[in-house]
Amino acid sequence: MYDILVKPCGEYATNCYIVKHELGDIVIDPGKGALEFIKAKSKKVVAILNTHGHYDHIWDNKLVANEFQAPIYTPKDDIFMLEDDGSGYLSSNDISIAVGDKEELVFNGLKFTFHHFAGHTPGCSIIEFDNLYFSGDFLFERSIGRWDFEFSNADDMVKSLEKAKSLKDDFYLLPGHGNQTKVSLEKPHFDSWIRYIKQC
């Protein structure tokens, strides 16, 4: 059995998730200030998973890793984004383990699968777990991730939205910001987003 806790962290209200398990917890996207939340809710963290490399999702990577002696797993194409910005908080690229598309990670019998959906960032990924998709900044409730940032790519976002049509309809989306939603509620909007991006 497991439970899922969530707290919006930092000025961008980035959702940090904890998948709680009796043998140890899995943290997803520990943003700014997430360590305090995690310490209050977890006795043991066995892994830290990043959906992508933007700083608001990985700010407390190193702090959580050091506190719990837990490994960090990051999409391989976003490892370069985990550089030290001078604060010391973001310098976790040297201790992060690169994860590829469709790669499966198992902790305490719980399986997490990374699915690559580039566009927002080169390595932007959805993490599948049970009947859930931790969708990071790719898919939100009635919205999608921005494609106009440095290292973003509009053509890749279009391809990813086309690919996302194969996501399982009955799965829930737990996004990097905002409320949870369901794949079946978001798919009808994909074509409109694709047309919009192509017009920009």
Q: What CATH number is attached to the domain comprising 91? A: 3.60.15.10
How would residue 83 be classed by pLDDT, with cut points 50, 70 and 90? confident
pLDDT number for residue 1: 86
Q: Which residues of 159-188 are buried (b: 16+ CB within 10 A; e: fewer)?
A: ebbeebeebeeebbbbbbbeebbebeebbe
Helix axes 154-164, 190-199, angle to 10 degrees: 160
For residue 56, the SS3 value is helix
Q: What are the pLDDT digits (tens) for 128-147?
A: 999 999 999 999 999 999 99
Q: Which two tokens stand for residue 114?
A: 């990374």
Q: What are the pLDDT digits (tens) for 2-27?
A: 999 999 999 999 999 999 999 999 99
- Compute the radius of gyration of the chain from its Cα atoms: 16
Domain count of the chain? Answer: 1
Rounded distance, CA 85 to CA 133, Å?
30
How would residue 166 be classed by pLDDT, with cut points 50, 70 and 90? very high
Which residues are paired to 156 by β-bridges?
Answer: none
Nearest partner of 199 among 147, 138, 150, judged by Cα: 147
Other C-beta atoms closer than 10 Å to the C-beta of 7 total 18
State the residue range of the domain holding 95.
Answer: 2-199
